[in-house]
Amino acid sequence: MTTFALVNPLCMYRKIAAVIGSVVLLSGGWLSLTGLTLPVALVPLLWLASTYDDSRRSWRRVLGWAALTFALWNAATVWWIWYATPVGPVAATLASTTLNTFAFMLYHTVAKKGPKALAYTTLVAAWIATEYWYTVGEFSWPWLILGNGFSHDVWAVQWYEYTGVFGGSLWVLVCNILFFEAWRHRRDIRRRIAAGAVLLLPMLLSLGMWCSWRQSDEGSVRVTIVQPDVDCYDKFHTDAERQERNIVDLLAQVPADAQFILLPETALPDYYWEPALEGAFLDELIDTLRNRTPEALLVTGANTTRYYPPGAQTRTARPLSGQQGYYDIYNSALGLDSAGRRQVHHKGRLVIGVENTPTVLFDLLRFLVIDLGGTLGQIGMGQHGTAFTHDGTTLGPAICYEGLYGDFYGDFVRRGAQFMAILSNDGWWGDTPGYRHLFTISRLRAIEHRRAIARSANTGRSGFISARGDIGATLGWQERGTLSAAVPLASQQTFYTRYGDYIGRIAEYLLLLSILYYIAYRVKRRNHLVK
């Protein structure tokens, strides 16, 4: 009796320690640390699941442990959304935890009643498939894709130009499985060698690519990025004139020979009707270009609107107050040159809650809105990346959240972008890991598509990133000013650029086959037992 009383609490403490261990090992890459703990981060949770039998009571207990692990991981890495809204981290955690838990419990179910190889295949396929769903669903939150955890370790994942971040997720999952098996069979040196080889070989390959990589000699362009440092929470509610004077003052610091000038997302405080895109401040900006930097293209974020007559409206359009007709509001990037020509890109990946909430549900779900900036409610959605062309050079003007989607981001490159601009307004979360990790994720996009990046944020962090993922000059938190650099150009497309998230698509089919195989296996086994 005494022995049982001692053993049972000890077992509970070990399971709690396993949960904490997995949470700590999973979180580092999103907290400005390293992601190199990810290849063993699920081992404690895999061990915990292995201690239970195949009964329904045990299944429910593993469900609880898994949900707790993933909820704590989400909370540890997205807590900073609290600065924008208290409900934000709760909503993000519920959605992400649900998908993580679904994938893990599918694995656990197969592991207890099916072949081990099938269980591990199910784990890999289900996890990557659910990550892929993050990126293609209308409501998506792809922040915690495992492959994103290496944004501080770009020397180790140079092969993302072939696989994208889903290749990183695949590597992490296979490593965890092999290290778990090596731990379970500690006397089998072959398992330890296999686990070590799968961990180290991709890293060594990447290190070789990192050391030998050279920027293609296709010339460069002179780019100036502007960081206005406007308080996000005052930006949409204070004097527009003051914001406009701030921009004009900063443009006076731009070198006369600049070829591209970047302003952040929603930098212009007014709304501009398409297709004319006319306004007094736009005219002033064009005059400023003509007088100071006549060879430059100014790329800036702005809110634009488009009118539709009755019957021609889109599904995201709103009715005009007191008038017939409808209109869409777009979070846009505008390209302006000294001749008055205008180019426009509509943001195609929208922030869940604040920009992407169906109009019919918005009033009911207002309490769930994650306030990350700009116009609340369902806004118009662009369909693809739009490349801007100026003086023989093409750039891709990605807007903030679009930098989380490797395949969508690649659409700018497929349309001819020779370098990338990212316009962002990510000061909503204060001086936290949120805006810092959003910047470093851009390093992974640079590697995937081998395009240099110039990033302009409303406040910290603006800067330059090479096509190898190296960080150049930057402006930090609450720094106001400009930065200029020569940004190299490239025209070749990587394997990942051409084929996109093929690993995610394969995972979907593999998951379906795994489920069908498991069902057939159980039916056959049940019939065998009946006979």
- The CA distance from 169 to 444, in Å, is 13
- The CA distance from 382 to 71, in Å, is 32
Residue range of the domain that includes 408: 221-499
Q: 297-308 and 462-465 as β-strands: parallel, antiparallel, unpaired?
A: unpaired
376: helix, strand or coil: coil
- The residue assigned the tokens 């609107």 is 305
Task: Judge if 278 and 384 occupy the same domain.
Answer: yes
One pLDDT digit (tens) per residue for the chain, 531 residues = 444 444 477 888 999 999 999 999 999 999 999 999 999 999 999 999 999 999 999 999 999 999 999 999 999 999 888 777 666 677 778 889 999 999 999 999 999 999 999 999 999 999 999 999 988 876 678 999 999 999 999 999 999 999 999 999 999 999 999 999 999 999 999 999 999 999 999 999 999 999 999 999 999 999 999 999 988 877 766 778 999 999 999 999 999 999 999 999 999 999 999 999 999 999 999 999 999 999 999 999 999 999 999 999 998 899 998 889 999 999 999 999 999 999 999 999 987 766 776 444 444 444 444 444 445 567 899 989 999 999 999 999 999 999 999 999 999 999 999 999 999 998 888 888 999 999 999 999 999 999 999 999 998 899 999 999 999 999 999 999 999 999 999 999 999 999 999 999 999 999 999 999 999 999 988 876 554
Centre a 10 Å sphere on the Cβ of residue 524 and count the other Cβ atoms it contains: 10
CA 275 → CA 334, 415, 456, distances in Å?
12, 22, 25
Task: Judge if 521 and 408 occupy the same domain.
Answer: no
What burial letters (b/e) apply to 471-507, b meaning 16+ CB within 10 Å?
Answer: beebbeeeeeebbbbebbbbeebbebbebbbbbbbbb
Spatial CB neighbours of 215, under 8 Å, sequence gap ≥ 6: 452, 466, 467, 468, 488, 490
Instruction: Pull the structure tokens for residue 275.
Output: 């297709």
Task: Judge if 452 and 515 occupy the same domain.
Answer: no
Task: Judge if 341 and 305 occupy the same domain.
Answer: yes
Task: Judge if 138 and 235 occupy the same domain.
Answer: no
- The CA distance from 185 to 126, in Å, is 25
- The CA distance from 520 to 284, in Å, is 69
Q: 318-319 and 326-337 as β-strands: parallel, antiparallel, unpaired?
A: antiparallel
Decide if 404 contacts 142 (C-beta within 8 A): yes
Domain CATH code at residue 480:
3.60.110.10
Residue 308: alpha-carbon gap to chain centroid? 32
Decide if 435 contacts 425 (C-beta within 8 A): no
Instruction: Pull the structure tokens for residue 159.
Output: 């092969």
CA 389 → CA 159, 163, 340, distances in Å?
29, 28, 14
- The CA distance from 43 to 174, in Å, is 11
Task: Judge if 361 and 485 occupy the same domain.
Answer: yes
Q: How many residues does the chain have?
A: 531
Instruction: Pull the structure tokens for residue 191.
Output: 């398992």
- The CA distance from 17 to 69, in Å, is 11
- The CA distance from 392 to 31, in Å, is 40
Task: Judge if 201 and 260 occupy the same domain.
Answer: no
Task: Judge if 36 and 131 occupy the same domain.
Answer: yes
Reading across the β-sheet that carries 393-399, which strands appear in turn?
A: 388-390, 393-399, 419-424, 453-457, 462-465, 471-475
Helix or strand holding residue 512 (H, E): helix 502-530
Task: Judge if 262 and 402 occupy the same domain.
Answer: yes
Helix or strand holding residue 399 (H, E): strand 393-399
Decide if 428 contacts 457 (C-beta within 8 A): no
Spatial CB neighbours of 443, under 8 Å, sequence gap ≥ 6: 151, 154, 465, 469, 470, 471
Taking Cα atoms as reference points, which of 46, 69, 52 lies closest to residue 183? Answer: 46
Helix or strand holding residue 441 (H, E): helix 433-449
Q: What's the pLDDT at 248?
A: 97
Count of domains observed in the chain: 2
Decide if 147 contacts 168 (C-beta within 8 A): yes
**Angle (deg, nearest 10), helices 189-212 and 165-184:** 150
Task: Judge if 413 and 515 occupy the same domain.
Answer: no
Task: Judge if 65 and 197 occupy the same domain.
Answer: yes
Instruction: Pull the structure tokens for residue 128.
Output: 């990557």
Helix or strand holding residue 454 (H, E): strand 453-457
- The residue assigned the tokens 């998951």 is 511
Helix or strand holding residue 449 (H, E): helix 433-449
**Angle (deg, nearest 10), helices 56-78 and 87-113:** 140
Task: Judge if 507 and 473 occupy the same domain.
Answer: no
CA dihedral (161, 167, 169, 171) in degrees, to 10, reads -110
pTM for the model: 0.93
